[in-house]
Chain A
Amino acid sequence: MYESMIATLVRIPGHAGDEIEAYVARPEAEFRRGGVVVIHHMPGWDRGSKEITRRFAELGYDAVCPNLYTREAPGASPDDAAAVARAQGGVPDDRLIGDVAAAAAYLRALPTSNGKVGVIGYCSGGRQSVLAACNTDVDAAVDCYGAFVTGEVPTEFPLKITNLVDQLPNLGAPLLGLFGAEDRYPSPEQVDELERILTAEGKPFEFHRYEGAGHAFFANERPSYNVAAANDGWERIERFFGAYLGA
């Protein structure tokens, strides 16, 4: 555990060279280590997302959480920025890929980097974590209850997203999936479908489903928080990143 850390705001070049905000947390110690890109949930670049970023620093990683809504609402509070981003149709997939790739490059350029970078995302970020792992060079990916990795996106949705089924053959990193058995987005059937596809493709993955847990069980400031699922989930994340992001 690295309780002494440095957490700060930086600006990094994101997709297409756009400057975006990012929250960085790093252990205050000199040793080679992996990096973690934290993809925030749909409600935005909020306190909870930054707490998660600091927790990865405590675990011994350089961690960065880019503000995916920097462009829509620079300087706005996270909830206002999330409202604008939602009203404008959400984050385009190509831009997300570019921003995550830029965040990974930022981490690999740190003098403490061992060259390995993992990505983790929650809620909409869970899908985006898989998307990033299909399109960028990362060493491990974690999907926390991301909807529409599989399954049909209803046609009336104004958000311009598709499922990722056609991209899964390009998944380039081991995937840890953490899901609530009571969740409807993604539903247990959609998780089953993802499991079948990854098995057929011969992709390394590890899934865990928590009985009694719904969506957003890691969100400790929301009624959806599930202590048992979140605690077990954190332990599995720790072991997973330990296995794939070590020196």
Chain B
Amino acid sequence: MCTYTTVHADMDGSAKGPGSAWFHAGRATVYFDHPVHAMAEHTLNIDLTDPDGDPARRVALELTAESARALVAAIQEALAAVPDELKV
């Protein structure tokens, strides 16, 4: 399947990528398509990049659909545990 479906999210944070170097993660690109490396026919793929930076400065995730849902749930659970006064 090549759905071409691609979703973007603007972000403000950091990611540790190639060469163990940190970089500004300004954008997440999310899509469900063939992985490059994961042994699954399709995966939920996330590219964390600095849109103004070197293309090689990228953290790439290829997760099975089940794994991606588990990640979403974990993020939601962690955020839900944050006291209101710390949420910005």
Chain B contact surface mostly: loop
Instruction: Out of B2, B36, B40, B54, name the residue touching A215 (CB < 8 Å).
Output: B2
* Chain A residue with Cβ nearest B28: A87
CA distance A147 to B4 in the complex (A): 9
CA distance A157 to B8 in the complex (A): 11
Instruction: Out of B3, B34, B56, name the residue touching A77 (CB < 8 Å).
Output: B56
Task: State whether the Cβ of A72 lies closer than 8 Å to any Cβ in chain B.
Answer: yes
Task: State whether the Cβ of A139 lies closer than 8 Å to any Cβ in chain B.
Answer: no
Q: Mark A122-160, 1 if CB is under 8 A from B, else 0.
A: 011000000000000000000000011000011011110
CA distance A124 to B1 in the complex (A): 10
Chain A residues near B39 (CB-CB < 8 A): 223
Chain B residues near A185 (CB-CB < 8 A): 1-3
Q: A86-B6, A185-B1 are in contact. Are A43 and B51 (CB under 8 A)?
A: no
Min C-beta distance of A186 to chain B, whole Å: 9
Min C-beta distance of A201 to chain B, whole Å: 25
Interface size on B, residues (CB 8 A): 26
Q: Mark A175-194, 1 if CB is under 8 A from B, else 0.
A: 00000000111000000000
Instruction: Out of A80, A153, A223, name the residue touching B40 (CB < 8 Å).
Output: A223
Chain B residues near A183 (CB-CB < 8 A): 1
CA distance A223 to B39 in the complex (A): 6
B residues whose Cβ falls under 8 Å from a Cβ of A: 1-8, 27, 29, 31, 33-36, 39-41, 47, 49, 51, 54-56, 58, 60
